[in-house]
C-alpha cells in the first residue's frame, strides 16, 4: 500500500522558491514539475475458517490411492483487521488437488470480497500426508473497487480444523495499493 500523498515541487522562475501541489509528472505554465511518492509496503496477516461446500474426487487408477480432486470452499475470518476496502463480506476458493496417498500438489483461485472492493488471488502448494499440512504461496492477480491497483504475494498454511470438512488457513505476505 502506498501511504501518503504525491507531492510536486515546481521551481518558480529565478526566485528559487518552491510550492507544493498534488500532481503527476507534467509541465505546468512552462515549469517542470517533479513528483515525490512516499511508498510503503504493508504486511498482510489473516486467519480464515474454511468449510468445504463441494468436493469431487476421481481415482486415476495408475497406482494405489492416486486421486484428482476439485474442491470448493467458503471462508470467514477468524483473525482479521478491517482495511481500506471496509468490512469483510465473503471468501470463496476453488482448488485442484493431485494426490497420491494424501500427498501432492494443489493449485487454485480465491476471491475475497469486502464492502468496497475484492481481491482475486491464485495460489499453489503441496500437502504432506504425514503432518496433514498444506503449505504454499499466493499472489494477487486482480483487484476491484478500492483494491483495483493492489499487488501482493505471500505464503500460506492450511491445517485441519476442529471438525471434519473444516480447515484453518493462515496467510502472511506483503502488498501495495
pLDDT tens per residue across span 141-177? 999 999 999 999 999 999 999 999 999 999 999 988 8
CA pair distance 47, 168, nearest whole angstrom: 7
pLDDT of residue 39: 52
Task: For 42-176, give the CATH class.
Answer: mainly beta
pLDDT of residue 11: 34
- Interval 86-110 mean pLDDT: 96
CB 89 within 8 A of CB 114: yes
pLDDT of residue 79: 82
pLDDT of residue 64: 95
Residue 33 has pLDDT above 70, yes or no: no
Half-sphere exposure of residue 47, counting CA atoms within 13 Å on the CB side?
A: 6
pLDDT of residue 17: 36
CA pair distance 128, 37, nearest whole angstrom: 44
List the domain boundaries for the chain. 6-37, 42-176
In this prediction the pTM is 0.75
pLDDT of residue 84: 82
Amino acid at each position: 500500500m502506498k501511504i501518503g500523498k504525491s507531492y510536486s515541487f515546481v521551481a518558480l522562475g529565478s526566485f528559487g522558491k518552491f510550492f507544493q501541489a498534488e500532481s503527476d509528472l507534467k509541465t505546468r505554465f512552462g515549469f517542470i514539475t517533479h513528483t515525490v511518492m512516499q511508498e510503503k509496503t504493508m504486511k498482510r496477516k489473516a486467519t480464515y475458517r474454511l468449510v468445504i461446500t463441494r468436493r469431487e474426487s476421481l481415482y486415476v487408477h495408475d497406482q494405489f490411492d492416486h486421486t484428482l480432486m476439485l474442491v470448493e470452499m467458503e471462508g470467514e475470518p477468524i483473525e482479521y483487521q478491517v482495511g481500506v476496502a471496509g468490512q469483510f463480506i465473503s471468501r470463496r476458493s476453488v482448488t485442484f488437488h493431485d494426490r497420491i496417498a494424501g500427498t501432492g500438489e494443489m493449485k487454485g483461485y480465491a476471491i475475497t470480497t469486502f464492502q468496497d472492493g475484492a481481491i482475486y488471488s491464485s495460489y499453489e502448494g503441496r500437502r504432506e500426508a504425514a503432518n496433514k499440512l498444506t503449505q504454499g504461496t499466493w499472489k494477487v492477480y486482480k483487484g476491484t473497487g478500492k483494491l483495483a491497483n493492489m499487488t501482493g504475494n505471500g505464503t500460506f498454511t492450511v491445517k485441519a480444523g476442529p471438525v471434519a470438512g473444516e480447515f484453518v488457513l493462515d496467510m502472511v505476505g506483503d502488498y501495495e495499493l
